[in-house]
Amino acid sequence: PQSDDNEEYPGDISHFDAFELLSEDDVRKLVVDSHKKSCYLDPVPTDFLVKCLDVLLHAVTKIINISLETGYFPRDWKEAIILPILRKSGLESAFGNIRPISTLAYIS
């Protein structure tokens, strides 16, 4: 089957037994302890997700656990914005002086 965005969803997915499912407390701790910076790729602002965590926690936990169980990681979660950052100022023309920083969607 295919989703609306033409992304192939593997129909026959093996379940992973090596991952322990997360509890809602685990997910809450991850959200509370993570950086709260939003990314252009986020479907909703990170601060909104954090403020509504009590309401969204069950659904977010379910989504994460399904991903862990099935090994399916949505394509949108794999996308990143790559920002070139200078290592040392004054060497702007040296390609080796640039390091890539990847910014992922918060839920990733």
Q: Does residue 47 sit in helix, strand or coil?
A: helix
**CA distances in angstroms from 54 to 31, 60, 108, listed in the order given:** 11, 10, 19
Concatenating the DSSP letter of every residue in 60-97 gives HHHHHHHHHHH----HHHH-EEEEEEESSTT-TT-GGG
| Structure tokens given for 67 | 């991903």
Which residue ranges make up each domain of the chain? 24-30+37-104
Confidence category of residue 94, pLDDT binned at 50, 70, 90: low
pLDDT of residue 5 exceeding 80 = no
Q: What is the predicted pLDDT for the residue at 11?
A: 56
Q: What is the predicted pLDDT for the residue at 35?
A: 82
Q: What is the predicted pLDDT for the residue at 77?
A: 82
- Interval 10-27: pLDDT, tens: 555 555 667 789 999 999
Read off the pLDDT of each residue in 38-66 and give the average, rounded to a whole number.
90
Q: Is the pTM of this model over 0.75?
A: no
Q: What is the predicted pLDDT for the residue at 89?
A: 72
pLDDT of residue 42 exceeding 80 = yes
